[in-house]
């Protein structure tokens, strides 16, 4: 029996601000107190992004709040964290970010079946205001259609 991955946090804002193209799964290098904080949900992904420097992928601006019980050796909340990817995946990310307007955005953090923390990265292109308006209109139309179907079933 295969168990589902347990989400820690999702970056819902990313789908509103970006058009998602490719997705990658990466491991992440963490300290013990950071894992404890993640289990408690003390993490923010809103302004986080990934970059490739000197052949290594890094996750930046992700805030993991300090674990209250780790007073002796606390971790730095906003430090860059190394991502664990295969070399061909890093090359693909470099090629993708060299295109105009593309960036690497973390979509979600989760625990896999073995209890390891994974991050889902997406290669994305920023949306314009017009694109965002169209997204809002589309979501509203879908919501209204669902409500109309519910009303029709009740009658």
Q: What whole-number distance in Å separates Cα of residue 17 and Cα of residue 2?
A: 33
For residue 66 the two structure tokens come to 């300090």
Query: Is pLDDT of 2 > 70?
Result: no
Q: What is the pLDDT of residues 16-60, one digit of tens each?
A: 888 888 999 999 998 888 888 888 888 888 889 999 999 999 999
Of the pLDDT bands very low, low, confident and very high (cuts 50, 70, 90), residue 99 is: confident
Q: Is residue 153 part of a domain?
A: no
Q: Residue 155: pLDDT above 60?
A: yes
Do the domain assignments include residue 148? Answer: no
- Asked whether residue 92 is domain-assigned, the answer is yes
pLDDT digits (tens, 9 = 90+) for 114-139: 889 999 999 998 877 787 888 888 88
> Which pLDDT score, from 0 to 100, does residue 7 have?
85
| Nearest Cα to Cα of residue 37 among 81, 92, 74, 1 | 74
Res 3: pLDDT: 54
pLDDT of residue 59: 94
Parent domain of 12:
6-127
Asked if the structure places residue 140 within a domain, the reply is no
**What letter does residue 1 receive in the DSSP assignment?**
-
pLDDT higher than threshold 50 for residue 75: yes
Confidence at 1, pLDDT banded by 50, 70, 90: very low
Beta strands in 68-150 (DSSP E): 81-84, 102-111, 117-126
Judged by DSSP in three states, 150 sits in helix
Residue 46 lies in a domain: yes
Domains of the chain: total: 1
Residues 25 and 85: their CA atoms lie apart, in Å, by 8
Q: What is the pTM of this model?
A: 0.77
| Higher local confidence (pLDDT), 120 or 15 | 120
pLDDT at residue number 46: 85
3-state helix, strand, coil in the chain (%, to 5): 35, 35, 30
Q: What CATH code is carried by the domain that includes residue 73?
A: 2.40.280.10
Question: Mind listing the pLDDT tens digit for each residue in 82-97?
Answer: 999 999 999 999 998 8
């Amino acid at each position: 029996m295969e168990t589902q991955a347990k989400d820690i946090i999702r970056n819902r804002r990313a789908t509103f601000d970006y058009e998602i193209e490719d997705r990658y799964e990466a491991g992440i290098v963490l300290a013990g107190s950071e894992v404890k904080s993640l289990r408690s949900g003390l993490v923010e992904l809103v302004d986080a992004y990934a970059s490739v420097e000197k052949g290594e992928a890094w996750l930046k601006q992700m805030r993991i709040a300090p674990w209250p019980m780790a007073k002796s050796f606390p971790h730095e909340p906003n430090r860059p964290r190394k991502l664990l990817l295969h070399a061909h995946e890093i090359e693909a990310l470099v090629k993708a970010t060299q295109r105009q307007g593309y960036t690497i955005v973390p979509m979600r953090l989760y625990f896999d079946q073995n209890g390891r923390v994974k991050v889902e990265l997406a290669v994305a292109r920023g949306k314009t205001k017009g694109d965002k308006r169209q997204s809002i209109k589309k979501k509203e139309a879908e919501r209204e259609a669902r409500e109309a179907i519910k009303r029709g079933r009740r009658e």
